[in-house]
């Protein structure tokens, strides 16, 4: 039977089977598994049915724990249920997994295996999550590539029904979950043939039902629990045969035979590697190569790791084996060895204990770790392991793929060892996130995979920035099956989609001799050579590289494509590579365009067609002069004056050489220096703001909104202008508070993202040319050198004394030094201006507990850290615990501070005589309620420390250790709405009820932004989000009102774009309040589908329509008999619709589900009216205006 060939990734393959074979799907987004849930939801939204001809129900839960709980319930009621998760999400499911297995409920959870957070979080792939579930009683089945994902997902589904053992079906996060491959799709008939319907009936018969009532989940005592636990043994014993039998049935249907342990290699092999996951494909490719060189080697792919079948394992191992290396993609610190290794050793040991044992003695078995957090695993590493096995005393507990210069665990490997078949075409594309490179390559690989007889593979690497991010696409195709599950290191075709990369990255180091290099450049074919850096020219000449150029941006501009060169560069690739005859290729590209863009209207299709047609005539080959002429050198990664750590470690990571940093260079406990983004001059903006002092009114609004702290103001003594660079701008300060002083607004052009938020909020207009403001965008490149000097000069101007500033104003607060700068957040991010503002106000005495999400990524993802320090070396100390526990984490910080402060005060009291009454009393009685008082307390504590040095008492040493706690600390618990409204809500609620002095800042984007726009309970009605493709049918949860019910919680809703002064005031009040404070900040977001430059206008509209009423509820006022709730925004003056349809998240529903859109937008208006009236009435109640009751009591 001929089956459909599809070019899809592993997530898609798993979701396809899961959706076909289940009824209830409960999910929660977590990278890299989110796509599976989203696809399942999309399939159901499109009305796609499972094999029983019904559309599965998909529900998004509040956490993975919630998803597992919901599934537990559904399974108890006899449904076929599934979920998808990874990493911490899987950990949250473990409690339910024990129950589900204990109750012998059949189900398959699909896992994109990912690292567990330890010294750091990592979104990338390894087996540490699935290995944590070994004792739950679940079966564990591993797939190594997208084809296997589809096949084994089905096999596992069939086996769970028969065995009653629940299974985790796992595959490597990113490497398999996100790798696009051409695979054969199993048909509905195949699926029906595999699933025994009678087993489903049995499952349903076991369901809880009032028609046949039983109870499950009882509590048992010492007398019977143990025996009860042993009842399941027979099920586990028969499972291996059941799974193998399912594999055999599958083989009959499709021809693809799997075994519980699949051996590949020489039957006479003496050296064998045992492993599971995507690395097995690379190992197989290497074994094929080595056998070609007459080496008797083999690998054993572990398909079913639990229940572990010793019998099947031993049968699969070749009889002559002498040494075995077991590779684990996980780490268990402190163990004898990693889990797979231990199991293999145990299995061999047990196998000896039989009369007809296959092996009479133990072979040498060594264990090693590889590939943690998607660390590359290459043929060179496989070879290194095989070479190690040749040794008489091979290294046990080794690592491969890193340099461990501390405990010397690593095996050496030859980085030049390359076994990829020459006939496989390998292409690398370097692009920017915004230019559409990855999307185009996904299209290309689909065309090659589905329109030719080539095998095809695509894998895509992104950096960890959300603005100006670089992408690298790795495409392989050819007539031979592709087993290379590692990045391309030797390419036939290299495309540079952004000219700026030429000076930043050594792309041609990947080029093989005679490779083709395609460059998107503004320079024509006869001028481009002289513009290439020396290193690029050298390699072109040396490797005889063919060079092609196109001015992709010119073509994009002329064809209305704007900044997207995707279609253009894709056309170039096909035109040059010759994968298909040119005309055929163009026809296929156009077909793909129709498929991709057809639903969005003919205009977009035609625009892309035009781009294709225009491309060919603009693509030119460059005649290569025989010699290198360039003197252009690649600039250093970080400036010369950067600290050593930054030069030695950070710079290596920035430069893409992090793989070669040895263990000794890494911090032992995940502790990194802050203030390092300042050294990573990314130069990503094509245009930057330029200040016009003549027009400027010095309001500070631009400084306030800048999400990346790249536009700053200072007021200073005119004398400081001495030695200023020629182009440094200064003007007289306007304002009475600093007479005779100078004012400068300076832009860090190398750090600016060019987002234009500053220009949009600038209220000053040039009177002669009203299109101009006090800041205007100009091309960055010509300004770079001059402004670099100006910025350095500006930084050296001393900060104004904080005590002299009116910090509750925008102008005043914006003279405070930001201690959060140059983050990797999206250009025009709506969250970071709030974060930055808090850092300005409290950064020098602030601790941050940051929930996992966007803010933890732009705030804490390597290589560099935006949390910064002032000249005194003080600044925010930051940490991220988890997604779900952030409020509790922050509370713990507070408890620690309070305890230490109390201890310090007790010691001051104890040592009062030695310290001196005056100083001791001053310290103990200091209120520290503003900057001046904090300053004074700091002085006192310094005096105290000096005194303590002279006191020879143990208490003096103790006090010295905790003296800094005598200065007030400010605890900030930050995170997004996914944390606060959903997964972390229970903890948040508890912290609100604790009475402790913490400040909770919820950066409310009304959607899970970091994982790609999934609905949260903060999502407003009528908005489209993932899992709400037909518009969210229910209103947004009102977290502020819930918090206010406690009465002793400070609550504010703020929106900087509507009222920036209100924002500052609310933050100051919240911090001042000696109890829990909750600030919910409207944060416009890229996931809203808006013009980000105008994000502040969207914020204003959200307030103007009543969706986001501004208010402050201050319990201190209540205690003083004042108005506790201040409603700070005016009654709605525009309809909700007017605000909503500024944003694609609402507007797209009018295109996808117009009737629903009409209905929901009306209901959303009612929500808005209701919310506003409710808060209005609450204000009245609290003010005693209703029924004579004074709510202030």
Partner 1 sequence: MDLTTTYLGLKLINPIVPSASPLSNEIENLKKMEAEGAAAVVLESLFEEQIKHESKELDHYLQFGAESFAEAVTYFPQASEYRIGPEEYLEHIRMAKEAIDIPVIASLNGVTVGGWIDYSRKMEQAGADALELNIYYIPTNPRLSGVEVENLYIDILKAVKSAVKIPVAMKLSPFFSSLAHFTRRLDENGVDGLVLFNRFYQPDINLDELEVAPNVILSTPHAMRLPLRWIAILYDKINADFAATSGIHNAQDVIKMLMAGANVTMMCSALLRNGISHITTVLHGMKLWMEEHEYDSINLMQGSMSQKNVADPSSFERANYQKALQSYRPNV
d(CA 944, CA 949): 9
Instruction: Indicate the pairing of strand 546-550 with strand 620-622.
Output: antiparallel
Question: Which contiguous run of DSSP H or E holds residue 848?
Answer: strand 846-850
Does 212 participate in catalysis according to the annotation?
A: no
Which residues pair with residue 746 across a beta bridge?
Answer: 712
| Number of residues that this document lists for the chain | 1193
1151 binds partner 1 (CB under 8 A): yes
Residue 471 binds partner 1, judged by CB under 8 A: yes
Helix (H, G, I), strand (E, B) or coil at 948: helix
For residue 140, give the 3-state DSSP assignment: strand
Give backbone dihedrals phi and psi of 308, rounded to 5 degrees, phi first: -85, 125
- Residue 935 C-beta: closest distance to partner 1, Å: 41
Residue 456 found at the interface with partner 1 (CB under 8 A): no
Distance CA 348, CA 337 (A): 15
Can you tell me which of 228, 524, 562, 1033 binds partner 1, judged by CB under 8 A? 562
Of 429 and 878, nearer to partner 1 (C-beta) is 429
38, 64, 162, 756: the catalytic one is 64
Which residue's CB is nearer to partner 1, number 744 or number 1005?
1005
Does residue 218 carry a catalytic annotation? no
579-598 positions binding partner 1, by CB under 8 A? 597
Contact 748, 710 (CB under 8 A): yes
Q: Quote the least distance from Cβ 783 to partner 1, whole Å.
A: 26
Contact partners, residue 121, CB within 8 Å, separation at least 6? 115, 852, 856, 880
Does position 377 interact with partner 1 (CB under 8 A)? The reply is no
* Residue 1081 CB, nearest approach to partner 1 (Å): 20
Among 433, 643, 916, 1075, binds partner 1 (CB under 8 A): 433
Nearer to partner 1, 153 or 826 (CB): 826
Q: Is 770 in the site for partner 1 (CB under 8 A)?
A: yes
Asked if residue 373 lies in contact with residue 31, where contact means CB atoms within 8 angstroms, the answer is: no
Footprint of partner 1 on 1130-1149 (CB under 8 A):
1144-1145, 1147-1148
What minimum distance in Å lies between the beta carbon of 1026 and partner 1? 5
Q: Which residue has the tokens 């398959």?
A: 108
The distance of Cα 370 from the centroid of its chain, to the nearest Å, equals 23
E-strand ranges in 501-601 read 511-520, 546-550
Task: For the CB of residue 1089, give the shortest distance to partner 1 in the complex, in Å.
Answer: 4
Tokens representing residue 245 in the block: 């039998």
Q: Which residues pair with 456 in a beta bridge?
A: 477
| Out of 5, 23, 42, 506, the residue judged to bind partner 1 by CB under 8 A | 42
Judged by CB under 8 A, the residue of 165, 438, 555, 649 near partner 1 is 438
Q: Nearest approach, Cβ of 117 to partner 1 (angstroms)? A: 14
Q: Which of 790, 886, 1010, 1098 is catalytic?
A: 1010
Binding flag, residue 967, partner 1 (CB under 8 A): no
Sole window of 31-39, 675-683, 697-705, 1176-1184 interacting with partner 1 (rule: CB under 8 A): 31-39
Active site residue 712: no
Tokens matching residue 685:
């903006």
In whole angstroms, what is the distance from residue 632 CA to residue 23 CA? 62
Could you say whether residue 466 binds partner 1 (CB under 8 A)? yes
Among residues 185, 187, 320, 606, the one that binds partner 1 under rule CB under 8 A: 606
Q: Which member of 51, 193, 505, 604 binds partner 1 (CB under 8 A)? A: 604
Instruction: Select from 33-41, 256-264, 516-524, 1048-1056 the region that touches partner 1 (CB under 8 A).
Output: 33-41
Residues 116, 569, 882, 1087: which binds partner 1 (CB under 8 A)?
Answer: 1087
Of the candidates 1027, 809, 746, 998, which has an alpha carbon nearest to the alpha carbon of residue 893?
Answer: 998
Distance CA 39, CA 35 (A): 6
Smallest gap, in angstroms, from Cβ of residue 381 to partner 1? 23
Site string for partner 1, 988-1017 (x = CB under 8 A): ---------------------xxxxx----
Q: Which is nearer to partner 1, 180 or 800 (CB)?
A: 180
Q: Which of 560, 662, 735, 1121 binds partner 1 (CB under 8 A)?
A: 560
Residue 1024 Cβ vs partner 1, minimum distance, rounded to whole Å:
6
Stretch that binds partner 1, among 26-34, 394-402, 930-938, 1167-1175 (CB under 8 A): 26-34
Question: Taking CB under 8 A as the criterion, which residues in 826-855 touch partner 1?
Answer: 826
Provide the strand spans (E) within 388-507.
Answer: 398-400, 410-411, 425-432, 455-462, 470-478, 491-496
Does the footprint of partner 1 cover residue 430 (CB under 8 A)? no
| 599 touches partner 1 by CB under 8 A | yes
Q: How far apart are CA 695 and CA 729, in angstroms?
A: 13
Q: Answer yes or no: are the C-beta atoms of 692 and 772 closer than 8 Å.
A: yes
Binding residue (CB under 8 A) for partner 1 from 45, 59, 512, 1068: 45
Sign of CA pseudo-dihedral 934, 939, 943, 946: positive
CB of 692 to partner 1, least distance (A): 15
Window 109-128: residues binding partner 1 (CB under 8 A): 123
Which is catalytic among the residues 7, 11, 21, 31? 31
- Residue 1189 interacts with partner 1 (CB under 8 A): yes or no: no
What is the footprint of partner 1 within residues 1019-1038 (CB under 8 A)? 1024-1029
Q: Which is nearer to partner 1, 105 or 473 (CB)?
A: 473
What does the DSSP assignment read for 246-277? HHHHHHHHHS----SEEEEE-TT-SEEEEE-S
Contact 142, 243 (CB under 8 A): no
Binding region for partner 1 (CB under 8 A) out of 18-26, 355-363, 560-568, 624-632: 560-568
Among 51, 193, 403, 434, binds partner 1 (CB under 8 A): 434
Instruction: Report the SS3 class of residue 1021.
Output: coil
Concerning whether 21 is annotated as a catalytic residue, the answer is no
Instruction: Specify the pairing of strand 999-1004 against strand 1077-1082.
Output: parallel
Tell me the closest approach of the beta carbon of residue 369 to partner 1, in angstroms: 23
> Which long-range contacts link 724-733 to residues 24+ away (Cβ below 8 Å)?
724/793, 725/786, 725/789, 725/790, 725/793, 727/786, 727/787, 727/789, 727/790, 728/789, 728/790, 728/793, 728/794, 729/691, 729/693, 729/790, 730/693, 731/693, 731/694, 731/696, 733/698
Rounded to a whole number of angstroms, the minimum distance from the CB of residue 604 to partner 1 is 4
Structure tokens at 1146: 């609402």
Instruction: Kindly list the distances between the CA atom of residue 81 and the CA atoms of 73, 158, 200, 616, in Å, as whole numbers in the listed order.
Output: 10, 13, 12, 51
How many residues sit in the footprint of partner 1 (CB under 8 A)?
65
Other Cβ atoms closer than 10 A to 357: 13
Tell me whether residue 390 or residue 765 sits nearer to partner 1 (CB atom).
765
Q: Which of 1, 2, 46, 255 binds partner 1 (CB under 8 A)?
A: 46
Is residue 1047 a contact partner of residue 1115, using CB atoms and an 8 Å limit? yes
In whole angstroms, how close is the CB of 574 to partner 1 at the nearest point?
19
Which CB atom, from 846 or from 857, has the smaller least distance to partner 1?
857
CB 574 within 8 A of CB 634: no
d(CA 385, CA 271): 10
- Does 132 interact with partner 1 (rule: CB under 8 A)? no
**Interacting positions 218-257 with partner 1 (CB under 8 A):** none
What is the binding site for partner 1 (CB under 8 A)? 31-32, 34-35, 38, 41-42, 45-46, 123, 174, 178, 432-434, 436-439, 442, 460, 462, 464-466, 469, 471, 560, 562, 564, 597, 599-604, 606-607, 765, 770, 826, 857, 1009-1013, 1024-1029, 1086-1087, 1089-1090, 1144-1145, 1147-1148, 1151-1152, 1154
Just list the catalytic residues: 31, 64, 114, 1010
């Amino acid at each position: 039977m001929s089956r459909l060939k599809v070019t899809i990734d592993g997530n898609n393959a798993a979701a396809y089977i899961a959706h076909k074979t289940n009824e209830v799907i409960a999910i929660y987004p977590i990278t890299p598994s989110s796509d599976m849930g989203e696809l399942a939801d999309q399939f159901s939204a499109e009305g796609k049915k499972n094999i029983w001809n019904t559309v599965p129900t998909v529900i998004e839960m509040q956490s993975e724990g919630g998803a597992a709980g919901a599934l537990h319930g559904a399974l108890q009621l006899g449904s076929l249920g599934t979920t998808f998760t990874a990493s911490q999400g899987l950990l949250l499911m473990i409690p339910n997994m024990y129950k589900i297995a204990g109750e012998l409920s059949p189900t398959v959870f699909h896992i994109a295996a990912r690292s567990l957070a330890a010294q750091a979080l990592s979104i990338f792939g390894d087996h540490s999550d699935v290995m944590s579930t070994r004792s739950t009683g679940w079966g564990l089945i591993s797939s190594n590539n997208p084809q296997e994902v589809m096949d084994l997902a089905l096999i596992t589904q069939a086996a769970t029904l028969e065995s009653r053992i629940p299974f985790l079906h796992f595959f490597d996060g990113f490497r398999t979950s996100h790798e696009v491959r051409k695979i054969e799709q199993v048909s509905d008939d195949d699926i029906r043939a595999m699933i025994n319907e009678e087993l489903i009936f049995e499952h349903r018969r076991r369901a809880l039902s009032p028609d046949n009532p039983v109870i499950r989940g009882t509590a048992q005592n010492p007398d019977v629990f143990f025996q009860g636990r042993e009842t399941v043994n027979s099920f586990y014993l028969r499972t291996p045969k059941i799974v193998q039998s399912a594999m055999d049935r599958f083989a009959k249907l499709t021809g693809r035979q799997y075994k519980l342990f699949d051996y590949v290699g020489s039957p006479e092999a003496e050296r064998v590697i045992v492993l599971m996951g995507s690395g097995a494909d690379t190992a197989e490719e290497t074994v094929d190569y080595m056998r070609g060189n007459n080496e008797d080697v083999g690998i054993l792919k572990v398909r079913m790791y639990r229940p572990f079948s010793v019998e099947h394992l031993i049968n699969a191992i070749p009889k002559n084996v002498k040494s075995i290396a077991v590779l684990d993609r996980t780490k268990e610190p402190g163990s004898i060895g990693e889990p797979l290794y231990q199991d293999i050793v145990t299995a061999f040991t047990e196998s000896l204990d039989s009369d007809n044992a296959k092996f009479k003695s133990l072979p040498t078995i060594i264990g090693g770790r590889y590939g943690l957090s998607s660390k590359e695993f290459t043929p060179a590493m496989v070879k290194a392991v095989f070479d190690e096995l040749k040794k008489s005393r091979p290294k046990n507990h080794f690592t491969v793929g890193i340099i461990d210069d501390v405990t010397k665990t690593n095996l050496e490997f030859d980085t030049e060892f390359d076994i990829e078949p020459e006939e496989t075409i390998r292409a690398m594309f370097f692009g920017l996130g915004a230019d559409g490179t990855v999307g185009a390559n996904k299209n290309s690989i689909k065309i090659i995979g589905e329109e030719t007889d080539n095998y095809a593979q695509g894998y895509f690497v992104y950096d960890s920035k959300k603005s100006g991010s670089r992408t690298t696409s790795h495409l392989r195709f050819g007539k031979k099956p592709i087993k290379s599950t590692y990045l391309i290191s030797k390419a036939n075709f290299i495309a540079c989609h952004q000219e700026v990369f030429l000076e930043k990255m050594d792309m041609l180091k990947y080029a093989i001799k005679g490779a083709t290099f395609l460059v998107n450049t503004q320079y024509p074919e006869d001028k481009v050579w002289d513009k290439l850096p020396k290193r690029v020219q050298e390699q072109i000449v040396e490797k005889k590289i063919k060079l092609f150029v196109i001015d992709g941006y010119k073509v994009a501009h002329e064809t209305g494509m704007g900044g997207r060169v995707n279609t253009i560069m894709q056309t170039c690739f096909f035109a040059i590579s010759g994968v298909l005859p040119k005309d055929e290729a163009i026809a296929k590209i156009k077909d793909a365009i129709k498929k991709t863009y057809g639903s969005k209207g003919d205009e977009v299709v035609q625009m892309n067609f035009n781009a294709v047609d225009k491309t060919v005539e603009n693509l030119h080959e460059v005649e290569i002069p025989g010699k290198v002429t360039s003197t252009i050198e690649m600039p250093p990664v970080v400036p010369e004056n950067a600290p050593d750590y930054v030069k030695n470690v950070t710079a290596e990571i920035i430069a893409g050489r992090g793989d070669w940093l040895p263990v000794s260079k890494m911090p032992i406990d995940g502790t990194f220096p802050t203030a390092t983004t300042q050294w990573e001059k990314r130069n990503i903006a094509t245009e930057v703001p330029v200040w016009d002092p003549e027009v400027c009114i010095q309001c500070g609004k631009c400084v306030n909104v800048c999400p990346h702290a790249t536009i700053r103001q200072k007021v200073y003594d005119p004398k400081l202008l001495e030695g200023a660079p020629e182009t440094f701008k200064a003007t007289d300060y306007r304002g009475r508070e600093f007479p005779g002083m100078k004012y400068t607004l300076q832009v860090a052009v190398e750090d600016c993202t060019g987002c234009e938020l500053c220009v949009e909020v600038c209220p000053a207009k040039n009177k002669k040319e009203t299109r101009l403001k006090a800041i205007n965008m100009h091309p960055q490149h010509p300004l770079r050198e001059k402004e670099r000097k100006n910025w350095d000069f500006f930084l050296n101007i001393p900060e104004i004394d904080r005590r002299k500033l009116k910090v509750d104003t925008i102008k005043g607060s914006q003279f405070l030094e930001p201690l959060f700068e140059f983050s990797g957040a999206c250009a025009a991010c709506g969250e970071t201006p709030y974060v930055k503002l808090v850092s300005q106000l409290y950064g020098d005495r602030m601790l941050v507990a940051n929930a996992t999400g966007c803010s933890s990524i732009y705030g804490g993802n390597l290589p560099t850290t935006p949390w910064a320090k002032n000249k005194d070396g003080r600044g925010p100390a930051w940490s991220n615990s988890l997604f779900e526990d952030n409020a509790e984490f922050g509370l713990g910080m507070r408890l620690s501070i309070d305890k230490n402060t109390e201890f310090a005060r007790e010691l001051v009291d104890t040592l009062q005589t030695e310290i001196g009454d005056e100083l001791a009393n001053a310290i103990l009685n200091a209120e520290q309620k503003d900057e001046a008082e904090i300053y004074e307390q700091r002085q006192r504590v310094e005096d105290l420390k000096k005194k303590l040095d002279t006191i020879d008492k143990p208490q003096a040493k103790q006090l010295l250790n905790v003296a800094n706690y005598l200065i007030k600390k400010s605890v900030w618990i930050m995170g997004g709405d996914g944390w606060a409204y959903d997964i972390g809500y229970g903890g948040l609620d508890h912290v609100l009820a604790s009475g402790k002095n913490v400040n909770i800042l919820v950066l409310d984007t009304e959607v899970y932004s970091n994982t790609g726009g999934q609905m949260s309970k903060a999502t407003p009605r009528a908005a489209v989000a993932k899992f709400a493709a037909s518009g969210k049918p229910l209103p947004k949860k009102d977290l502020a009102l819930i918090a206010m019910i406690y009465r002793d919680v400070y609550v504010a809703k703020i929106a900087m774009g509507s009222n920036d002064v209100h924002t500052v005031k609310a933050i100051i009040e919240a911090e001042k309040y000696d109890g829990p404070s909750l600030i919910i900040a409207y944060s416009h977001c890229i996931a809203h589908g808006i013009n980000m430059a105008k994000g502040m206008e969207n914020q204003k509209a959200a307030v103007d329509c009543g969706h986001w009423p501004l208010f402050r509820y201050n319990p201190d006022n209540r205690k003083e008999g004042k108005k506790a709730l201040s409603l700070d925004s005016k009654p709605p003056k525009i309809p909700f619709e007017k605000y909503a349809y500024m944003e694609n998240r609402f507007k797209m529903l009018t295109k996808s589900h117009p009737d629903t859109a009409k209905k929901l937008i009306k209901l959303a208006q009612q929500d808005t009216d209701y919310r506003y009236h409710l808060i209005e009435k609450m204000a009245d109640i609290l003010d005693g205006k209703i029924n004579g009751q004074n709510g202030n009591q």
